[in-house]
Amino acid sequence: MTTPLCETRDLWVSANGKEILRGVDLIVDKGEWHALMGPNGAGKSTLAKVLMGDPTYTVTRGKVFFEGEDITRLPSNDRARRGMFLSFQHPEQIPGVKVVNFMQIAMSHRQNIDLSMFEVRLALMEKMRELNIDNSFMDRHLNVGFSGGERKRHEILQMSLLSPHLVILDETDSGLDVDALRVVSDGITAFQKDSPQTGGIIITHYKRILQHIRPTHVHVLVEGRIIASGGFELAAQIDTHGFERYLASERVSP
């Protein structure tokens, strides 16, 4: 059996003394796309941030593996350099820092080679065209004054340029109107096509984006545990019936 791309083993996580994840087991292989669904407060975003190494959270039990290595204690920047990418639900504003300057450093780290400003601008322009982003965007300050749609497109832009092996999309579809959702979805599907080896974890409340992205697996996370797993049909069920049947219940096999 080959090594999974990413794996959590009995992962327990707490923040400020509160237990959020209570034994999450998840295996993502190369080229697989896993949708993670669940009610608010189930721990979906926590799992996304813990996978990326957010120091706000403490892993109290269990391990995270990436490409066969235990990365449970690794700082976020090392995870990024190994090829993990998190698209944030709420990307942070960094006043005064231009997108292009930020991407120069980020891309130079990822590729482990010093890229010139010219090279970075060229790379940005090409991807921005695909994502229907105006050229002036790269001289704007990081997420400052961005609309909801611009923030999400910016995250997808970064994803496309940092050639990750694993992407975690945390509610990339929330807060987008139909047109913005289409642009973002197209960006993700184009990325999927270009990077067939890359695996993904996509957190969402809605089936709509999943119809574009077509996850190979769907999981339901409730109260810090995965209580149901299945294929795409599970997402359709949830879309129709909601999470009610999963609440306060034991693990169910649909």
Partner 1 sequence: MSVRDSLALDRPYEYAWVDDIEYEVVLPPGIDEATVRAISEIKNEPDWMLRLRLRGLASFQRKADPRWLSFSLDTVDFDRISFYMQPKGASEQVTDWAEVPEDVRQTMDRLRLTEQTDILAGQVAQYDSSTVFHKLQDELCALGVIFCSFEEAITEHEEIFRPWIGKVIPPADNKYAALNYAAFSGGSAIYVPPGVKVKEPLSNYFRINSAGMFQGERTLIICDEDAELTYYEGCSSAGQNLKEKKSAKLGLPEPLHSAVVELVALDGAVINYVTIQEWAADVWNLVTKRGACFGEGSKINWVNFESGSGHTAKYPGTVCIGAGSSTTIDTVTIAGPGQVQDSGAKVILAGPHTSGTVNAKGISFGGGRGIYRGLLEARENADEGKLSSNCDALLFDDISESTTYPSIDVRNSSVHVAHEATTSKISQDQLFYLMSRGLNEREAQAMIVSGFVAGTAEKLPVAYYAEVQRMISLQFGDESIG
- For residue 228, which amino acid is it? A
Residue 253 sits in the site that holds partner 1 (CB under 8 A) = no
Nearest to 221 by CA among 10, 40, 13: 40
In whole angstroms, what is the distance from residue 200 CA to residue 236 CA?
19
16 binds partner 1 (CB under 8 A): no
Q: Which residues contact 234 (CB under 8 A, 6 or more apart)?
A: 218, 220, 228, 254
By rule CB under 8 A, what string of x and - marks binding of each residue 132-151 to partner 1? ---------xx---------
7 φ/ψ angles, rounded to the nearest 5 degrees? -145, 135
Query: Is 167 near partner 1 (CB under 8 A)?
Result: no
Q: Is 109 in the site for partner 1 (CB under 8 A)?
A: yes
Q: What is the DSSP letter of 205?
A: S
User: Judged by CB under 8 A, which of 34, 110, 127, 152 binds partner 1?
Assistant: 110
Pairing of strands 6-15, 58-66: antiparallel
Which of the stretches 31-39, 99-107, 122-130, 208-216 binds partner 1 when contact is defined by CB under 8 A?
A: 99-107
Q: Would you count residue 17 as binding partner 1 (CB under 8 A)?
A: no
d(CA 65, CA 204): 23
Candidates 56, 136, 197, 240; binder of partner 1 (CB under 8 A) is 56
Neighbouring CB atoms inside 10 A of 149's CB total 16
- Site size toward partner 1, by CB under 8 A: 35
| 86 interacts with partner 1 by CB under 8 A | yes
- 15 binding partner 1? (CB under 8 A): no
- What is the contact surface with partner 1 in residues (CB under 8 A)? 49, 52-56, 75-77, 79-81, 85-86, 88, 91-97, 102, 104-106, 108-110, 114-115, 141-142, 158, 162
